[in-house]
Amino acid sequence: MNIGIIGTGYVGLVTGAVLSEIGHVVTCLDINEEKIDTLKKGQSPIYEPGLDEILVRNIEANRLFFTTSTQEAFAHADIIFIAVGTPQGEDGAADLSYIQQAAKDIAINVDHNVIVVVKSTVPVGTNDIVEEIIHANMTDDFQIHVVSNPEFLREGHAINDTFHGDRIVIGAENAFARDKVESIFKPLNIPIMHTNRRSAEMIKYASNAFLAVKISYINQISNLCYALGADVNAVADGMGMDHRIGRAFLNAGLGYGGSCFPKDTEALAYLARENDVKLSIVESAIYANDEQRHIFAQKVINHFKGKILGKKIAILGLAFKPNTDDMREAPSIMIIKELVARGAVISVYDPVVKKTSFLDDIEVSYATTKEECVSGSDAILLVTEWKEFIEANWTELMTFSNNGVVFDGRNILKF
Ligand code: UDX
């Protein structure tokens, strides 16, 4: 099938790459010319294991194209995916301006019948709005259906998640459009769930918020474990053996970050407030998540009995989680800011994030190796659980520091 994709962020790019890999002809559209030029060369602008190979293979096979031209992207498209960002607005609500613009672009530029699939995470009711915008701006009487198809991929595992997801959710109000969208994904052999558009939109938010609640829950339990001398990893293992609970997403640590959980929990809480519905569990998860970073920073400050001025702190890991270069809502940012505000001298090392604009206004020194980072430090903070850190020889690594004090923000070290 011929597919157009608006937006080459994580979701759009990985979706485009995978759909071309299973035989569709895909044209990805983005307004950023530099990004499109990079992509045309088969280079991914994001760090995502396995993505470059798929890009190169399908560009060479003439199944994957990149363009900044709306006409080119839509010219032969049977289906157009909207995969643009829905960033968090000031009041916590999702900012839908990119979605609205995409809907207008489709209405103005499409010259044939087409199915529009909304992949971006959007508040309940947005697919209806997209359909209204398209119909209000259409220049001719084409048949256009809008279908919701939320994305569940994780950064760092995006390719694998897209090929081997637990489910594909298709929210449609029209059987023809539903079946056509289903047929795109058939080769993936993933269970497909049919529902209406509003429920599909809600499945995405409710899933992400549930996982966020699970993380905040285990983090608060871990704080209690710490106070009472219990081992949160053993507690999580024991809880996880109950199949009704499951072990996944029970890793206690510095809380969730990234481009999805923080934004989606806020957007869901906002939706609830707007509709006079209590969603206190999600509100509490947000609060607990924020608090978790302060608790960690405070533990470090307390270790030095409040006298952290001039102390050299080594930060291992900047990205919000391993296998990504994404710094959005990374716990490292807040922890570093809090320690710098108290006068600490910060040295950082991340296997992939070599420098970040998120720390532009903060004085930190970027080390090129973990050993350099730790050298002469008064405390080592493990912030992101990269494999390089998990597999490091810590006995040796600690000899580079002044005293071998380690704060394991991910409960991962075994000594
Ligand atoms: C998440 C969802 O998993 C995915 O389905 C959705 O499409 C987008 O949001 P992502 O943000 O890429 O994906 O990362 P994920 O691996 O889910 O981790 C999210 C955050 O939770 C990270 O900050 C991670 O460190 C944290 N986390 C995860 C924990 O603190 N403990 C855990 O047990 C699991």
Among protein residues, the one whose CA lies closest to atom 18 of ligand 1: 256
* Residue of 86, 154, 247 to mutate, ligand 1, most atoms within 8 A of C-beta: 154
Q: What is the mean pLDDT of the chain?
A: 96
- Within this chain, do residues 120 and 242 fall inside the same structural domain, yes or no? no
- Within this chain, do residues 132 and 272 fall inside the same structural domain, yes or no? no
Strands (DSSP E) found in 156-299: 168-171, 192-195
Q: Does a structural domain hold residue 295?
A: no
Of the candidates 147, 82, 138, 133, the one whose C-alpha atom is nearest the C-alpha of residue 111 is 138
- Within this chain, do residues 53 and 140 fall inside the same structural domain, yes or no? yes
Write the DSSP symbol of residue 123.
-
pTM: 0.94
Give the pairing type, strands 312-316 and 379-382: parallel
Burial class (CB in 10 A: 0-12, 13-18, 19+), 171: buried
Residue 294: which residues within 8 A CB-CB, separation 6 or more?
A: 334, 338
Last residue of a domain, one of 260, 287, 314: 287
Q: Report the pocket of ligand 1 as residue ranges, CB < 6 Å.
A: 151-155, 208, 215, 249-251, 253, 256-258, 260-261, 320-321
Last residue of a domain, one of 195, 222, 247: 195
- Within this chain, do residues 165 and 186 fall inside the same structural domain, yes or no? yes
Last residue of a domain, one of 287, 318, 337: 287
Question: pLDDT digit string (tens) for 228-250?
Answer: 999 999 999 999 999 999 999 99
User: How many domains does one find in the chain?
Assistant: 3
Q: In what order do the strands lie in the sheet with 379-382?
A: 364-366, 345-349, 312-316, 379-382, 406-408
- Within this chain, do residues 345 and 362 fall inside the same structural domain, yes or no? yes
Among protein residues, the one whose CA lies closest to atom 24 of ligand 1: 256
Q: Does a structural domain hold residue 237?
A: yes
Residue owning tokens 């519905």? 277
Q: Does a structural domain hold residue 414?
A: no
Percent of the chain at pLDDT > 90 equals: 95
- Within this chain, do residues 280 and 333 fall inside the same structural domain, yes or no? no
Looking up residue 228, the CATH number of its domain turns out to be: 1.10.1040.10
Among protein residues, the one whose CA lies closest to atom 31 of ligand 1: 251
- Within this chain, do residues 142 and 99 fall inside the same structural domain, yes or no? yes
- Within this chain, do residues 253 and 313 fall inside the same structural domain, yes or no? no
- The residue range of the domain holding 346 is 304-408
- Within this chain, do residues 330 and 383 fall inside the same structural domain, yes or no? yes
- Within this chain, do residues 392 and 255 fall inside the same structural domain, yes or no? no
- Within this chain, do residues 392 and 274 fall inside the same structural domain, yes or no? no
Looking up residue 133, the CATH number of its domain turns out to be: 3.40.50.720
Catalytic residues: 260
Whole-number Å distance between alpha carbons of 131 and 106: 11
- Within this chain, do residues 143 and 231 fall inside the same structural domain, yes or no? no
Q: What is the DSSP string of 320-377?
A: SSTT----TT-HHHHHHHHHHHTT-EEEEE-SS----GGGTTS-EEE-SSHHHHHTT-
* Residue of 260, 291, 323, 335 to mutate, ligand 1, most atoms within 8 A of C-beta: 260
Q: What is the pLDDT along the chain (415 residues), one digit of tens a residue?
A: 999 999 999 999 999 999 999 999 999 999 999 999 999 999 999 989 999 999 999 999 999 999 999 999 999 999 999 999 999 888 888 899 999 999 999 999 999 999 999 999 999 999 999 999 999 999 889 999 999 999 999 999 999 999 999 999 999 999 999 999 999 999 999 999 999 999 999 999 999 999 999 999 999 999 999 999 999 999 999 999 999 999 999 999 999 999 999 999 999 999 999 999 999 999 999 999 999 999 999 999 999 999 999 999 999 999 999 999 999 999 999 999 999 999 999 999 999 999 999 999 999 999 999 999 999 999 999 999 999 999 999 999 999 999 889 999 999 998 7
Among protein residues, the one whose CA lies closest to atom 33 of ligand 1: 249
